[in-house]
Amino acid sequence: MPGVAPPSDIGEPLGPLPQEFAAVLRPELPSLIKEIGLEVTRAYPEYARLLEGPYAQGIRIGVEQNISVFVDQVAEPTASSALRDEMCRRFGRFEAYEGRSLDQLQGAYRLGARIALRRAKRVGRRYNLSPTLMLTFADALFTYVDELEALSREGYLEVRTAGADQLDTQRRRLLHLILAGSPVPRAAVAELAEQTCWTLPGQVTLVALRPPADITSALLDNDVLADLAEPQPHLLIPGPFDERRQGMLDAALPGAHLTIGLTVPLANAADSLRWARRVLDLIDTGIIGDAPTTRCEDHMVTLWLLSDRALLEQLAGRELAPVAHLTANRRDRLLETLHAWLATRGTAAQLGEVLDVHAQTVRYRMRTLESIFGRQLSDPERRFAIEIVLRAMRIEPNGG
């Protein structure tokens, strides 16, 4: 715990860090997390590649937890560290799955601590903090790093000593290599597949699960690769996802909620998992309805339209600028009419039926739209851009 530092080398115990120190540190966290991430990935390129793969979100969560929990425990020494503990153990497990020692991970922890200490010194000068307080901070920080390393060692040894589960460990490592994509030579994937008696398929379908994944592994088909660790459990199913595979998952994961990615070539497995996880996010935000099983293939247009929200907002700002000055009610009525016209190209009478208004009202609105948008409505590319924006707004009304 960083709240109380261990005895110093001269035998006199250093006092606890004052809780107010957390208030000084907390504003530094976002930029400090970013700085540590840049320095660690520069020193350890392997971690840089991982941050571009399907495990990126989980890794970032772990890094943020490692840093923020230190500050939380300064403010409140009894603050929970359960998620941080599990993420550290998972980092250790991952190093074991990849067949590495803990040297790189321990080096990354210590590098992060040095960067944090460097930042704390700048903060100390800014607030004129005493040398004794800064020494206490350094002592508590490196004690905290020892704690992180011990937790990661637990996860590492858990994998390395589980002889009976060696095949499962190798197959999880195989799954990691497949999802890592192009940085990993295909020969390495093929060699590990041969060692685990797993036939390399031409196509695969990835499945994202909502944690916790309470699964009966014995009921999974023998060719299914699985990583059930939180926060992002997932499965790889060779070939397309059919009714037989659905029955298998229903039996192995009763009551679970999961999303089925698109079937893709083996080399593109990470894309299938990324889309499946994105659908889970859209379910969590209420854009896609929840169900025990949701297939990405049923929501491909939604995935595409909402794939880059910031860019969509820029496009909406450009294409809908002509109506930005109107009142909200008038703008909504006009855009509803414009969307109906772009989608159907119907007559005024037909649009009136769709919108439940008189045909004359439709004609008036269309004349207004033509005067406001001008040449935009006669340019095919601009019409298409407007239709994209309006379709996205109907999917996510508050996204623009």
Tokens of 187: 């020969």
Q: For residue 95, how far is the Cα from the chain centroid? A: 20
Determine the residue type at 213. A
The span from the CA of 3 to the CA of 202, in Å, is: 54
Q: Which residue has the tokens 């004359």?
A: 360
Q: Which fold has domain 200-305?
A: Alpha-Beta Plaits (3.30.70)
> Can you tell me the distance from the alpha carbon of 118 to that of 36, in angstroms, rounded to the nearest whole number?
11
CATH of region 20-161: 1.10.490
pLDDT tens string, the chain, 400 residues long: the values are 444 444 434 344 445 678 777 888 888 888 998 899 889 889 988 787 766 666 677 778 888 888 888 888 887 888 888 888 988 988 888 787 677 889 999 999 999 999 999 999 998 898 888 888 888 888 888 999 999 999 999 988 887 776 546 777 888 889 988 998 776 778 888 888 877 778 899 999 999 998 777 777 778 888 899 888 778 889 999 999 999 999 999 888 888 889 999 999 999 999 999 999 999 989 988 888 888 899 999 988 888 888 778 888 888 888 888 888 988 899 889 988 888 888 888 888 888 888 888 989 989 988 998 888 888 888 888 888 888 888 888 887 655 4
The three-class DSSP label of residue 253 is coil
Calpha distance 4→214 (Å, rounded): 38
What is the rounded CA–CA span in Å between residue 33 and residue 67?
Answer: 7
| One-letter identity of residue 20 | E
Distance CA 128, CA 133 (A): 10
Give the CA angle between residues 363, 365, 368 to the nearest 5°. Answer: 110
DSSP 8-state secondary structure symbol assigned to residue 398: T
Closest among 315, 308, 277, 306 to 294, alpha carbons compared: 277
Residue ranges per structural domain of the chain: 20-161, 200-305, 311-395
Output the CA angle 72-77-81, nearest 5 degrees. Answer: 60
pTM given for the model: 0.56
Residue 4, phi then psi, degrees to nearest 5: -125, 125
Single-letter residue type at 140: A
Residue type, 313: E
Residue 158 CB neighbour total at 10 angstroms:
15
Tokens of 33: 């997390």
N- to C-terminal Cα distance for the chain?
Answer: 44
Both structure tokens of 220: 């999974």
DSSP bridge partners of 237:
205
